[in-house]
Each structure stands twice: as C-alpha cells, then as structure tokens.
Amino acid sequence: MSIYLTTFLVSLGISTALGVIIVIADKLLSNYGECTITINDDKQVVVEGGNSLMSSLFEKKYFIPSACGGKGTCGYCMVKLPDEDIPLLPTEEIVMAEKDVNAGWRLACQIKVKKNMSVWMPEEYFMIKEFHCRVAKTETIAADIKEIELEMIEPDSIEFKAGQYIQVMVPSVGETVYRSYSISSHPGNCKSLFLNIKLEDKGIGSTYLHKLKVGDTVNISGPYGDFLLTGSNRQAVFVAGGVGLAPINSILHQIFQDNIDRKCLVYFKVKLEEEFYYLEQLSQWKEKYANFSYKLVVSDIPETESFDSGERARITKVLEDDFQKISESEFYLCGAPKMINGIMEYFDKKGIPSDRVFYDKFE
Ligand SMILES: Cc1cc2nc3c(=O)[nH]c(=O)nc-3n(C[C@H](O)[C@H](O)[C@H](O)COP(=O)(O)OP(=O)(O)OC[C@H]3O[C@@H](n4cnc5c(N)ncnc54)[C@H](O)[C@@H]3O)c2cc1C
Ligand code: FES
C-alpha cells in the first residue's frame, strides 16, 4: 500500500472517529431531561429540555406573541428571566432595542431550556388561548388572495379587538410551525373570524391555508397584537399594502359599527391592479359616510396598461402629493416591512412625530 493511501485511510479513520465522538457527546450533553419552568412565580410546567423556551411554553399552551414564527427576527417574543444569568445572544443583540435589553427582556424563541428555570411574562399573555376551528368558507377574492372564514368550535367564541391577529398552527414535516394572520372581520362577530391570505411561492403557511377546503379543521392561538385604533379625534390615515388591508378592514368596521366620529382616509396600495379586493365595500362606505374616503394606488402597473381609478405611483410620492391634507393625522400602516420602512423614513424626514404613527409589519 502506498504511503499516500495509508495516510489517507488513517486520516479518514481519525476524522470518522472524531465525528462519532462529537455526535455522541452532543447527544449526551443535549440530554437535559425533564425541566420545570416556573411562570410568574405561581404556575409550573414540566417540559423535555433541549427546546426553545417559546416552543416549550407553546407545547404547554402558554402563548407568547410572535411575528416570525420563532426565527429570531421580529423581536415580539419578549419575556423576563428573573433568576437567570444567560449572556445576551448575538441574535438578540441584532433584533432588540437597547432599552428592552436594559429592562431585562429576552427573546423566548432564542433561549434554550436546559435546566429548571423561572420566567416572567405580562399578564395579558395569559388571555391568549388555543382554538379549534372549522373552515366555514374559502374564496378567491383577488390574484393569489383568499378570504377564509374560520368558525370557532372549541372554545366556541373568540374575543378580540379590531386590528389584532392570530397564529395558525401549520402542520409541517415532523413539526408544527406558527404563522401570524390578521383578523379582517369585526370583533362583534365572536363566533367566527375572517382572514385574507396571500399565497407566497413555496410558503409553508400560506400554501397550507390556500389548500384548505370547507369543513377542514384548523388550530389557531390568539388574539395577539396592539395595532389598535386610539381614542384620538385626529383624522386617521390608513396605509394598507396588499393584504395589509386585513386589520384595517376590521378597524374600519369598528369605526362604522360603533359610530366613531372620526375622519378616515385609506390609501390601498398594491403592485398590480388584480391584487385589489374589498373595493365594493370601500365604495359603499364612501357613499354612505361623509367622513370616509379612500385612494387606490398601484406601484408596478406597466405604462402600457390603463389605470384610471387611482394613482399609478410609489406610495411615498402619493403621500407627498397629499401632505398638506394629512400632515396632522394619526397614521396606521400595515403590510410588507419594506413599504412600512420606506414610509417611516419619509415621515422622519417630514418631521411627523413617531407617537402619531402605528404599524403592523407582515414580517
Ligand atoms: C402580525 C402579522 C400579521 C400578518 N397578517 C397577514 C395576513 O393577514 N395575510 C397574509 O397573507 N399574511 C400575513 N402575515 C404574513 C404571514 O405571517 C406569513 O409571513 C406569510 O403568509 C408567509 O408565510 P409562509 O409560511 O407562506 O411562507 P414561509 O414558508 O415562511 O416562506 C417565507 C418566504 O420564503 C420563500 N420560500 C420558502 N421556502 C422556499 C424555498 N424552498 N425556495 C424558495 N423560496 C422559498 C417563500 O416564497 C416566502 O416568500 C402577517 C405577518 C405578521 C407578522
Ligand atoms: S418569535 Fe420572532 S423573535 Fe422570537
């Protein structure tokens, strides 16, 4: 046997042996056994160690807000760990505001349960429940957008506020993944809720929801979120990007059904005209209520196609053109992070105070 072949075989043997040792060591070291999590000093759950704090709590039906499904990018899943001294993780450093870090908040999706631990979470999280639902209706309402009605089965009703969202438990390969969807219907109907779902190419959650048929069952948790109408009497300007109309639609229902006396203007922005939906509803409201108006905006329509029912421009250009009319308003923005970040930058330049701007980013 040549010296080269012998050297190669010995190296291969050593690296294989090292690989096996690492795998065994990892298994042994990651075997944390059963761990007790004490919640807000007065509740205890026992979980199998080794998983994230968020998924461990979800498994025991303690729900925490999340927009990114545990990927560590939204920063919503904040809890406090009163007795722990775990150094801040690089993922947390990127996402969390300094003031939250200083106040002792941690991201539950990034913390691994390795031993008994204590966690503190805001009382309102305990209001979040799991619901077993049945699909009562599913209908295509625009290109790649379905309206889905979920009827509550167990419990048989849900209390939520206009502007809030739920998380759908999506069965995926060997695990459950969580995706957030805003409720588009009025809280007055607590027996069912409506969702507006945009199909994303190869998207796990949106594909699952688009494939559902009437009669199928779905598990959700909620309600979550604080994208809510304030009590101010300033003009409310809503900017909806695509399915970002969902929570805004719910808030508009609240305004009209509760006779809230407030001037409202909606900018409904899509890339292509076929993505508009609920236009009949918007038009009826405009006819009926003198304090309501809306503007349709398309950003990517080809110049060769005609579009005369609204503006063909970037949303910030349209806001700039209307600035005199809207500068003293409260703003409610909902849709893709890119659109919201662009508008926030624009508002910053225009000196709009951040306490008059509310947003829900569909991360
Ligand atoms: C508070 C909140 C409210 C929301 N409300 C709504 C709502 O009302 N309606 C709505 O439609 N959405 C809403 N969203 C967005 C929603 O939660 C999901 O992010 C969205 O549906 C995409 O999830 P998904 O599982 O389908 O895609 P994911 O599986 O998470 O994929 C994300 C992206 O990666 C791409 N991708 C995934 N796998 C592959 C692959 N193998 N190859 C190439 N590309 C890939 C997909 O195209 C997709 O664009 C909301 C989000 C938040 C945070
Ligand atoms: S769930 Fe999004 S950062 Fe934790």
Which one of 58, 71, 363 would you pick to mutate in the ligand 2 pocket, going by the greatest count of ligand atoms within 8 A of its CB? 71
The domains located in the chain, with CATH, are 34-125 (3.10.20.30), 128-224 (2.40.30.10), 236-361 (3.40.50.80)
Percent with pLDDT over 90 in the chain: 82
What residues does ligand 2 touch, defined as CB less than 6 Å away?
66-68, 70, 72-77, 95, 107, 109
281-303 per-position pLDDT tens digit: 999 999 999 999 999 999 887 77
The SS3 of residue 349 is helix
Looking at residue 20, what is its pLDDT? 52
Which string of DSSP letters, residue by residue, matches 72-115?
S-S---EEE-TT--PPPPHHHHHHS-HHHHHTTEEETTT-B--S
The pLDDT of residue 69 is 84
Return the structure tokens found at 127.
Answer: 């209001």
Q: What are phi and psi of 47, to 5 degrees?
A: -130, 160
C-alpha–C-alpha distance, residues 242 and 139, integer Å:
17
**CB neighbours of 102 closer than 8 A, spacing ≥ 6?**
none
- Which of 52, 56, 73, 79 should be mutated for ligand 2, with most atoms under 8 A from CB? 73
Question: Within 6 Å (CB) of ligand 1, which residues are found?
Answer: 67, 165, 179-182, 195-198, 200-206, 225, 243, 246, 360, 362-363
Closest residue (by CA) to atom 39 of ligand 1? 202
Compute the mean pLDDT over every residue in the chain, rounded to the nearest whole number.
92
Reading the block at residue 176, the tokens are 């459950």
Q: Is-above-0.85 flag for pTM? A: yes
pLDDT tens-digit profile of 123-178? 999 999 999 999 999 999 999 999 999 999 999 999 999 999 999 999 998 888 89
Amino acid at 286: K
| pLDDT at site 67 | 87
Ligand at shortest distance from the CA of 57? 2
